[in-house]
Amino acid sequence: MENLREFITSLEGKGWLRHIDVEVDPSWEIGAICRENFNRGGPALVFSKINGFKTPLVVGVLGSVPSYALALGCGSNFPEIAKKWESAFARPIKAVEVNAKEAPCKEVKLKEVNLYADPFPVPRWHPLDAGPELGTFHGVITKDPETGWINMGTYRNQILDKDKVGCLSPPYKHIAYHIRKWASLGKKTMPVAIAVGLDPYLNMVAVSGVPAEVDEYDIAGGLKGAPIKVVKAETSDLLVPTNAEIILEGEMPIDEFWPEEGPFGEFHGYMGEIQRNSPFIKIHQITHRRSPYFQGTYEGRPPHESGIARGIGRSCVLYEHLRRSGCPGVKDVCVTVGGAAGLHAVVSIKKSFPGHARCVMALVWGYNVLFCKHVVVVDEDIDVWNPFMVEWAIATRVQASRDVTIVENAHTGVLDPSQVSSKRGWSDWLGIDATIPDEHYKRDNSTFPPFADPPEEIMGKVRQNWSKYGLE
């Protein structure tokens, strides 16, 4: 799929997208509709009539596992999705630069910047938000001025003025690496572009925590199976996706800050705090496709679209991190949606040495882009995507004094509400070794109890005879 519009058409064909054609109020109604729709496991939505705007708003295109798999052209199951990500990391495809005349994102060039007018029908997603939040499901694009490494990530962009947006940039995020690099070269500003209304592959990578020094464009190309088409921005040498619905171009002051940004209803379900002296972006130029869509999503308590997209993508990225680390025996990874798609991870391993599970915990904690503070390690017989099985492993294989590890005063995301305001960014880490404690049984001159279930040979025969039992 080349763009958001093609994806919308595909979702419509499946019956997985609905148009809301009655007028809705962006100040309170849209966010509440999205919350209820995600609670019900509903379809993607296109709000066609938003009070005060002509531009339609798209929400929820990656809000389910089937829609995520549809974009990738694979089965609606985690093993097949994971294979697509593995292939993308193994065989990334470089973006291809095209001429500006071939770029739909440049069809219209606005004469003035006004983020309170079309094409920006940005709702107040939550009643307690400080203002309309432009950045919820988009890509903020920056570049390392020395190496050329391009980063595209989803960062909080509150509309602060008609030509300014905030940009929440914690020090462990890749955009912050770029800010520090530009500052080290004595630069006063950093070029920034914001792409809104993306193809599904760019949406996937922008929220997944791709490793540093790896271009999201290349991994998106690997997921797509073809190069992402990019074009040079109007006001800088940044490369932006040609098929985006809207492009905002500007610059971030290096040594100038906005007094307050936020609060905003965050991915974990609580209000994110006010950020004082926040980085911000001055917007100088806006281009867009003819009759563009604006794309955003509702953040908050799971389930929701970004939880699905981040949970799947971050699981695959974390698996890749563990693979690159050289850690043996890693079988599967799940960054759980219920754990806010970042705070909890479950990893299955083929255990091969004492302390193997703790090595895995340390490596997960060390991947600071994802801020996973709770890690459960299970044996390969446990499906990490099945919370029932994970709970069973914890209940039957864990002794707290033996198998629970706590590391005090470590790192976490700055938005983690479990930590008091004065200590945000710091957290204790919790690791649970829920693998079979066979080495401890050996020291006790005993063996762990065998499984009570019938062996697979017998179960296979029963499955073959299932229809004979009158059960189909």
Active-site amino acid positions: 266
Q: Is 231 exposed, middle or buried (CB count within 10 Å of its CB: 0-12, 13-18, 19+)?
A: buried
Separation of alpha carbons 158 and 166, rounded Å: 5
Separation of alpha carbons 385 and 313, rounded Å: 14
Neighbours of 188 (CB within 10 A): 11
Separation of alpha carbons 42 and 19, rounded Å: 12
Q: Which stretch of DSSP H or E encloses residue 241? A: strand 239-241
**Dihedral through CA 369, CA 370, CA 372, CA 378, nearest 10?**
-120
Q: Which two tokens stand for residue 113?
A: 């910047």
DSSP of 5-53: HHHHHHHHHHT-EEEE-S-B-TTTHHHHHHHHHHHTT--EEEE--BTT-
Bridge partners for 271 per DSSP: 265
Parallel, antiparallel, or unpaired: how do β-strands 96-97 and 229-232 relate?
Answer: parallel
Separation of alpha carbons 132 and 122, rounded Å: 6
> Could you tell me which of 34, 62, 40, 38 has the C-alpha nearest to residue 208?
62
C-beta separation of 119 from 288 below 8 A: yes
Distance of CA 282 to the CA centre of its chain: 25
C-beta separation of 205 from 220 below 8 A: yes
Distance of CA 317 to the CA centre of its chain: 10
Beta carbons within 8 Å of 191's beta carbon, 6+ residues apart: 142, 143, 233, 235, 236, 237, 238, 249, 250, 251
